[in-house]
A = this chain, B = another copy of it.
């Protein structure tokens, strides 16, 4: 009988009774919030340990105090997809560090587009964080607004009540594109992350961008189009991973060499890595035949090329999300905050084949 099933749950009242003090005094011992004589405190602690009392029930405590010490971290779709990207992990890691320092824990919630019921209805959280760019709107937001729960996001969902870490996605993407233009590339192409519900990797009709539900993907695509020659092909990847990056690149590169792009702007490093791999598989050298740019600046130890990319320090971004959350919980009303990214030139880009220059 290792489990004493019969014993009713031990509560603060039991401890107080055994120690011969009132419940309120016992409570003060555990919270350390009031003056208690050393002898009394010792008696209460002794009673607690005699009874196997493991401290105040978090639920009751939270109810009374009106805070749960928990924030919701909302990711779309399955966790597997969300965390496959090292950039997402870096953001989450930075966020976790910051939350940890404030004694707050993360309730990981998947916001499936299809599910009718709201997972947040059943869980008490002090704030909600949307750490990864996702859909531009979500029914969850209305629920949280009604509950007056502060929300922090990284670009999405777009809503007045959500405080954002703001990145100039369009400008950054344009910067990457400009880098290729300045290297003499004239035949450019773009590989986007999903713009909405996953569709098999395909060449995009640029007019479809209007309908995009993922604002960051759309902005990056617009940044490319701002500088790329009119009619430059854009491929939308089904998932933002290496395999779909390869698939996208095959669509772009496996064509008549006359029309083959010499510079490809990819919306993430994983996609860019896929493009590099596909190019090599087709017998093309990077960057001699094809230049490739990524986005995020993640560390891919298995890729032999150092990508030219938009460096976006994920951990710092996560910490910033955490800091905004902290301030929101403290009662401040933090404003959306810009977050700087910059071009880092690596070995995956070079002068356009046949172009002159340094």
Contacts and interface: CB of A to CB of B under 8 A. Distances in A.
A54 to B, nearest CB: 4
Interface string A132-146: 000000000001001
A79 to B, nearest CB: 5
A89 B84 contact: yes
Given A60-B63, A160-B2, A302 B121 contact: no
B96 A90 contact: no
A340 interface: no
Interface in A1-40: 2-3, 9
A79 B96 contact: yes
B122 A301 contact: no
Contacts of A89: 79-80, 83-84
Contacts of A42: none
A227 interface: no
A55 B100 contact: no
B110 A108 contact: no
B93 A123 contact: no
Contacts of A315: 80
Interface in A88-129: 89-90, 92-93, 96-97, 100, 103, 105-110, 119, 121-124
Interface in A123-170: 123-124, 143, 146-148, 160-161
Contacts of A124: 57-59, 62
A300 B78 CA distance: 19
Contacts of A107: 70, 105-108
A111 to B, nearest CB: 11
Give the one of A52, A54, A160 with max B CB within 10 A.
Answer: A54
A243 interface: yes
Interface in A218-265: 241-243, 246
A54 B147 contact: yes
Given A105-B108, A108-B108, A277-B302, A123 B58 contact: yes
Contacts of A290: none
A288 interface: no
A303 interface: yes
A93 B315 CA distance: 23
Nearest to A53: B146
Contacts of A123: 58, 68-70, 105
A273 interface: yes
Give the one of A2, A69, A83, A124 with max B CB within 10 A.
Answer: A124
B52 A146 contact: yes
Contact of A83 (B9, B54, B83, B103): B83
Contacts of A52: 146
Given A108-B108, A109-B105, A277-B302, A121 B58 contact: yes
Interface of A: 2-3, 9, 52-55, 57-63, 68-70, 73, 78-80, 83-84, 86, 89-90, 92-93, 96-97, 100, 103, 105-110, 119, 121-124, 143, 146-148, 160-161, 241-243, 246, 273, 277, 300-303, 315, 333
